[in-house]
Amino acid sequence: MVDRCDNDDDRDDEGDRDQAEAEQQALAELEAETVYFCDFADRWLDSLTVEKSTHSCYLGATEEVWKPHFRDRPVGSIRPSEIMAIVAELARRVTGKTVNNSLIPLRGVFAAALDDEIIDRAPTLNIKSLKHQAPKPDPFRVEEMDAIIGASTIAMTRSSPTGTSSRSAQWLRPSEQIVVRWSDIDWNGQTIRIERARVRAVVKSTKTSSIRDVDLTDRTLGVLDRQRSYSLMKDADAPIFENPSSRLPWPDVQDQRKPYFHPTLLRLGLRRRDAYQIRRTFATLALMAGVNPAYIARQLGHANTAMLFKHYSRSIDGADAGREKSKLNGVFGPKLDQKVSILPGVSQSFGVLGSEGSEKFGEARW
């Protein structure tokens, strides 16, 4: 007769083995499904359809900031407090804008993980961007621009967009200037079409991904007419401005800025500024001259005037030559030392300071 206890022990052993096998299988499946930050971040970067320069910035932030901390961590194990600690440490070394730029790809990685249902909640959800002081426009004065032009070498003013843009009052971004072609010019309509830029040796769309036609002033036309003999004879699709040393297209604005523009500012004793300030100089001068803000915005390539009012409001205020203040004086009445009628038949003199600074009050006549 088989002992009933022995049968129970056998069933218990089989149950234990089945449970152990199930746990091992579940663990193996979990390990196979575990997504690590390093791998997923690479997949996210590979999936992007952005400009090369933007992709390079995202890649740099991912490799230099986030992978050293989260490389071999499962995506779902990363906590908001960990990210906040990294942000706080980073903010002690770099600007708030740099920190915010570093957060962009991290948010993208976790947004993709959320879409793939790898995580239920993004740890970056409540992490706010840092406040930072945006640089104000720092335009050149007219006399400074004239000095820059005069100090520029012949090669620079003939072949560099910085020298000629100062002289011809162009509205272009530096990345647009270095890639404009002769074929972009409409000589009859006196406009130039802006539809591309070059950043890090790669031709791309403009910053706003829009095409615009920029009006050519008489001065600009004169500069372009002089420039014909230097680059137009090569090809109608040749760039208008080229490197004066290599006689090749500028690969990037840095290649023009560092050897020409900044040394010129140094020789003149002018404050170091980006060549982008030339564009801002003409936006400022145009506003102060009373040019229609909507027209200026179109020439600059802005979708509307919002950016113009945000960055150049002081120049807009300066364009009224005191007219707006005069309107206020007309609305709010006489000076303090004048007598005004308060009620019909009643007048009162307002108090003014005497020569010794003591307050005197006119006698009220009631």
Least confident segment among 82-91, 125-134, 263-272, 314-323: 314-323
The pLDDT assigned to 357 comes to 44
pLDDT digits (tens, 9 = 90+) for 33-81: 689 999 999 999 999 998 888 999 999 999 999 999 999 999 999 999 9
Average pLDDT rounded to a whole number, residues 6-29: 62
Which amino acid is present at 186? D
Give the mean pLDDT of 100-124. 95
Higher pLDDT, 149 or 117: 117
pLDDT at 182 over 60: yes
Nearest to 214 by CA among 178, 176, 250, 249: 176
Q: What tens digit of pLDDT does each residue of 311-336 get? A: 877 766 656 656 767 777 777 765 55
> For position 7, what pLDDT does the model report?
56
Which amino acid is located at 41 in the chain?
A
Alpha helices in 190-345 (DSSP H): 218-227, 253-256, 262-268, 276-288, 293-300, 306-318, 323-332
Q: Return the structure tokens found at 121.
A: 């909640």
Higher pLDDT, 156 or 286: 286
Mean local confidence (pLDDT), 341-349: 51
* Both structure tokens of 205: 């769309």
Residue 318 in tokens: 């300066």
Using an 8 Å Cβ cutoff, are 176 and 206 in contact? Answer: yes
Record the tokens describing residue 353, joined without a space.
């300071």
- Which is it for the CA torsion 104, 280, 219, 159, positive or negative? negative
Q: How many residues does the chain have?
A: 366
Q: What are phi and psi of 173, to 5 degrees?
A: -75, 150
Q: How far apart are CA 207 and CA 365, in angstroms?
A: 68
| Whole-number Å distance between alpha carbons of 278 and 173 | 9
Helix spans in the chain (H): 4-33, 37-47, 52-61, 67-70, 80-91, 96-115, 142-151, 154-159, 161-168, 174-177, 218-227, 253-256, 262-268, 276-288, 293-300, 306-318, 323-332
pLDDT at position 164 is 46
- Considering only 20-29, 95-104, 116-125, 225-234, which range has the smallest mean pLDDT? 20-29
Cβ atoms < 10 Å from Cβ of 100:
16
Residue where the block lists tokens 């290599």: 246
Whole-angstrom distance, CA of residue 239 vs CA of residue 220: 16
Tokens standing for residue 179: 């890639």
β pairing state of 346-349 and 352-353: unpaired
Across 265-291, average pLDDT: 87
pLDDT grade, residue 345 (50/70/90)?
A: low
For the cut 80, the answer to whether the pLDDT of residue 339 exceeds it is no
- Tell me the mean pLDDT in the region 121-150: 85
pTM value > 0.85:
no
Which domains are present in the chain? 37-115 (1.10.150.130), 142-318 (1.10.443.10)
